[in-house]
Amino acid sequence: MRLGRALGRGLGRGLAQPKFQGIRFRLGVALALALLPILLLGAFQAQQQFRDQDIERRQDLQLAAERTAASAKARLDSTSVLLQALRPEALEIFCEPRLTALVDRLDDLEGLARLTATGQTTCASQGLAAAPPPWLVDARRSAWFQRLRAGESTVLARAPEAPGRPPGLVVALRLERPLGAFDGAMIAIIPLTSLQPDVADAALPEGSQAALTDAQGRILTATDVEAFRLEGGESLSGWVDRAREQGSSIFEADSDGRHRVFAGAALAGRDVYALLSAPSPGLLSWARLNPVGLLLMPLAAWLAAFVSVMLFSERIVVRWLDYLERIAAIYARGRFSVRPVQAVNAPSEIRVLAKTLDELAETITTRDAALQASVAEKDALMREIHHRVKNNLQIISSLLSMQQRALKDEPAKAAVGDTRQRIAALALIYRTLYQSDDLRYADARIFLTELVGQLIASESGRGHLVTSSVEADSLVVDPDKLAPLALWLVEAVTNAQKHAFAGRGGDLKVRFRVQGDTSVLEVQDNGPGVSESERAGVGRTLMGAFAKQLRGEVEMLPAEGGGAVARMTFATPEAVVPMDPADLGTGDAPRR
């Protein structure tokens, strides 16, 4: 039986673990870790393709910038060729009509002009001749004119803004005399709108913008100027310096409230540069990388594998462990007739465990049967012993009664009578034990009620009426504690009969209260009160001795309304829960 309970507690502690320590949780964690490489592989592939996309994006942007620069450069080169072709004709008498006709014929030209070495306009197309802009009137002070004078063959510069004229770009060609002396310039004015970069290229990322800058990084023209305004007031001159040295450049910066990638290339010499801007790839750019193949498919494969393995393990392992857990819980309740017969369909390892539990239950059942037989035999022997002890004590009480009747001395007869009552109390203990369900314990409430009745009945033949009442709490104790309790009560009742009820009768009240760690037993009478003989007699001495056995104290107190109270306060004996007889049997239950 103890082995069965130990088995139940052990299996109960082993199976009733928190969820995070259960086999399902641990198996799920192990499976998740085992299948984690699938997700990691998908994440690695997504990251790699994201990186490849970023590199491809930058390359496309750089190539687009170079294409833009090449397209604009071709437009400027054609203008330079036109100016070279006009050098002989610029000196003829019909200069202005010819230049005007060329400007009207070519959509990308705003004006043509011939300047002398001193910067004066000798010939210009009709638009420039009729209303020359201020910078053309005083051209010799312009930086581009000074550069031509210094020896540069072709100079590009932004035409200063003038009222009524759109922004334009000046293409200036140096003219020389036969000996190489500076002889002025031929200039062409190209509207910046005709050089506007095209961002409709299919290879460009969405949201791309294009611009042309001068040598100082100032925007000449742009599809969206805000896309090239760097945050913090940063200038584009640094990019221009790198492009001047390397021919092209790519960098990242914050602009227009977004992080953008910039790519540019030199357009013509050191004067004009093409610059493209595109949004930098963000955290959600993976959505453009075929997320179904890169992330969702690995995740779906991971989930499918996880669910499949979990269902398989649930079917093969966990459900059989749950079954054995239920069998073990039944064993923990002391029912060993149940057998795990369904485990015959389980895997071999589970069948071995089920067979071990079956053998264990069989062993415990056999041992319990032997123990029950032994306990039954012991109970029969103990009951017989208690019965014989009670009979022997009754024989002794009868012999003392015969001796008492033969005595003539009243004090001697009283002493023998007291002894008879003590022996009768001990006999009552043994009778209570062998009549109870459990031979080892007795209920104090039942015992005290019967003992008081026995004591009052023994004195009823003297002719004085004594009534009694018992109020007692239930407390199951062993005989070692019950004996001093009974003997103290015998002495207290005997004292009341001798001193309070002698020659007059009366009312006797017995109270037994269990108050936590302390218990109180009181015997109250309605006699004349506490006498000195009661405080110093033999009975009082015996009451003190019995109280010490219970680690208690005795008090003799006057009662309210007259009479006396004998009170014993002692430590409450450890309460005992009687064993359920059903715990001794295995019971008959169907096999499982």
DSSP sequence for 371-399: HHHHHHHHHHHHHHHHHHHHHHHHHHHHH
DSSP sequence for 399-439: HHHHHHHH---HHHHHHHHHHHHHHHHHHHHHHHHHHSSST
Band of residue 461 on the pLDDT scale cut at 50, 70, 90: low
Cα 263 to Cα 49, 257, 280, distances in angstroms: 22, 18, 12
**261 in a structural domain:** no
**237 in a structural domain:** no
Instruction: Compute the mean pLDDT over every residue in the chain, rounded to the nearest whole number.
Output: 76
For residue 537, what pLDDT is reported? Answer: 67
For residue 532, what pLDDT is reported? Answer: 67
pTM, two decimal places: 0.42
**322 in a structural domain:** yes
Residue pLDDT, tens place only, 531-569: 766 566 677 888 889 889 889 999 988 888 788 899 999
Of 313, 348, 367, the position where a domain reaches its end is 367
Q: Is the pLDDT of residue 227 over 90?
A: no
Band of residue 471 on the pLDDT scale cut at 50, 70, 90: very high
Burial class, 291, CB count within 10 angstroms (exposed 0-12 / middle 13-18 / buried 19+): middle
Query: Which domain, by its residues, includes 563?
Result: 457-577
Short-list 528, 438, 419, 526, CA closest to 478 = 438
Q: Tell me: do 461 and 573 sit in the same domain.
A: yes
**512 in a structural domain:** yes
Q: Is the pLDDT of residue 91 over 90?
A: no
Structure tokens at 315: 């079917």
Burial class, 380, CB count within 10 angstroms (exposed 0-12 / middle 13-18 / buried 19+): exposed
DSSP sequence for 334-374: T------GGGGGS-HHHHHHHHHHHHHHHHHHHHHHHHHHH
Q: Is the pLDDT of residue 460 over 50?
A: yes
Band of residue 270 on the pLDDT scale cut at 50, 70, 90: low
Q: Is the pLDDT of residue 583 over 60?
A: no
- Distance between CA atoms of 37 and 58, rounded to whole angstroms? 31
Short-list 256, 249, 245, 252, CA closest to 274 = 249
Q: Is the pLDDT of residue 107 over 70?
A: yes
CA 260, distance to chain mean position in Å, is 39
Q: Is the pLDDT of residue 591 over 90?
A: no
**433 in a structural domain:** no
Residue pLDDT, tens place only, 512-522: 999 989 999 99
Residues 42-50, mean pLDDT to the nearest whole number? 71
Residue pLDDT, tens place only, 292-306: 555 677 777 777 777
Q: Is the pLDDT of residue 216 over 80?
A: no
For residue 282, what pLDDT is reported? Answer: 56
Q: Is the pLDDT of residue 122 over 90?
A: no
Residues 215-228, mean pLDDT to the nearest whole number? 75
Residues 350-372, mean pLDDT to the nearest whole number? 86
**519 in a structural domain:** yes
Q: Which range among 22-31, 55-64, 151-160 has the greatest average pLDDT?
A: 151-160
Q: Which range among 31-45, 96-110, 215-229 has the greatest average pLDDT?
A: 96-110
Q: How many domains does the chain have?
A: 2
β pairing state of 476-477 and 506-515 = unpaired
**27 in a structural domain:** yes
Whichever domain contains 504, its CATH number is 3.30.565.10
- The amino acid that residue 580 corresponds to is D
- The amino acid that residue 78 corresponds to is S
Residue pLDDT, tens place only, 322-350: 888 888 888 888 888 888 888 888 888 88
- Distance between CA atoms of 484 and 476, rounded to whole angstroms? 15
Of 302, 333, 367, the position where a domain reaches its end is 367
Of 367, 389, 411, the position where a domain reaches its end is 367
**508 in a structural domain:** yes
- Distance between CA atoms of 351 and 66, rounded to whole angstroms? 77
